């Protein structure tokens, strides 16, 4: 079991909108920033929050051990994230973390694939994989969802985009162009984070090409530290995994 290393009273240093539903929250949390690796998450509770009582797990989009800041990119979708979205400069957040198992960083020629809010942890991953030559494949419904291109532009060699409606990049979904990318690239690792069908599909294609693949799973979480079993998923051979502490990052063959 992965135990929480730190519960930190983190203060808000920046909180900006990236789209009409997505915000970037930067917190001063020096202990967590020092320990975090890409793929991990924090479990947040607004300090004065009574309702809802549960924390919210949010993946790390960056952690800087030098300036002590971590950043989180999240979509405002319910009561908890709506309350989070009202935090202003200097307010305090109860921040538990860093939690979970991160990505393996030994790739020589990585391809990062992200869809929806699954793109958020890939920002940190791309930073950590540098100076490896990174290519990134992002998918969204429409170009308004792909503000991410600006975020990634300095941290990759090539960015490939798909949108469902064709308003940016190739019309279609990420899996439509993945086989062609793998034919022409010399990738030795695929990292995928996004909707489950996308991750399953990418893992299957990666296997066909003989490329190792890591996926980052999402789940509703209560404790976040492997104690309550609210986040388990089925693995191979009847084994069950706790997404919060065995993951959220898994080798594809462990879970698909």
Binding ligand FES by CB under 6 A: which of 47, 77, 227, 234? 227
Question: Could you tell me the smallest distance in angstroms from the CB atom of residue 16 to ligand FES?
Answer: 29
Q: Nearer Cβ to ligand FES, position 60 or 206?
A: 60
Terminal Cα-to-Cα distance of the chain (whole angstroms): 22
231 lines the binding site for ligand FES (CB under 6 A): yes
Beta-sheet strand order (sheet of 110-115): 170-171, 158-163, 135-140, 110-115, 189-193, 212-216, 249-251
H-type helices in the chain, by residue range? 30-35, 79-85, 120-129, 148-152, 174-184, 196-208, 252-255
Q: Any contact of residue 54 with ligand FES (CB under 6 A)? A: no
Place of tokens 């952690």: 63
Phi and psi angles of residue 248, each rounded to the nearest 5 degrees, phi first: -75, -10
Asked if 242 interacts with ligand FES (CB under 6 A), we say yes
Contact region with ligand FES (CB under 6 A), list: 75-83, 147-155, 209-217, 229-237: 229-237
Closest approach, Cβ 57 to ligand FES, in A, equals 8
Q: Judged by CB under 6 A, how many residues of this single chain contact ligand FES?
A: 12
Does residue 248 bind ligand FES (CB under 6 A)? no
Q: Is 202 in the site for ligand FES (CB under 6 A)?
A: no
> Which stretches of 15-91 are DSSP H helices?
30-35, 79-85
Binding range to ligand FES, per CB under 6 A, among 98-106, 183-191, 215-223, 248-256: 215-223
Among 47, 104, 229, 234, binds ligand FES (CB under 6 A): 229
Q: Which stretch binds ligand FES (CB under 6 A): 12-20, 113-121, 176-184, 216-224?
A: 216-224
Q: Does 249 bind ligand FES (CB under 6 A)?
A: no
Go through 25-49 and write b for each residue having 16 or more CB atoms within 10 A of its CB, e for each that does not: bbbbbbbbbeebbbbbbbbbbbeeb
Torsion region of 116: left, alpha or beta (phi above 0 gives left; psi -120 to 50 gives alpha): left
Query: Which residues of this chain interact with ligand FES, rule CB under 6 A?
Result: 221-224, 226-231, 242, 244
């Amino acid at each position: 079991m992965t135990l929480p290393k730190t519960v930190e009273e983190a203060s808000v240093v920046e909180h900006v909108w990236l789209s009409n539903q997505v915000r970037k929250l930067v917190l001063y949390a020096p202990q967590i920033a020092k320990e975090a690796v890409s793929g991990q998450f924090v479990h947040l509770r607004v300090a004065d929050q009574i309702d809802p009582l549960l924390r919210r797990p949010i993946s790390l989009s960056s952690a800087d051990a030098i300036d002590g800041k971590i950043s989180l990119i999240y979509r405002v979708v319910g009561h908890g994230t709506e309350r989070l979205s009202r935090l202003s400069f200097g307010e305090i957040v109860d921040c538990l973390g860093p939690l979970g198992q991160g990505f393996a960083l030994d790739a020589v020629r990585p391809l990062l694939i992200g869809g929806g809010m699954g793109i958020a942890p890939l920002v940190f991953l791309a930073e950590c994989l540098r100076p490896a030559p990174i290519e990134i494949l992002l998918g969204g419904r429409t170009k308004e969802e792909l503000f991410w291109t600006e975020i990634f532009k300095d941290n990759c060699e090539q960015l490939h985009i798909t949108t469902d409606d064709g308003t940016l990049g190739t019309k279609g979904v990420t899996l439509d162009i993945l086989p062609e990318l793998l034919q022409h690239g010399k990738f030795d690792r695929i990292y995928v984070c996004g909707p489950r069908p996308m991750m399953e599909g990418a893992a299957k294609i990666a296997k066909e090409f003989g490329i190792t693949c890591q996926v980052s799973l999402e789940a509703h979480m209560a404790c976040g530290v492997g104690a309550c079993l609210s986040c388990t998923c089925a693995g191979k051979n009847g084994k069950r995994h706790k997404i919060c502490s065995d993951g959220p990052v898994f080798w594809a063959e462990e879970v698909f």
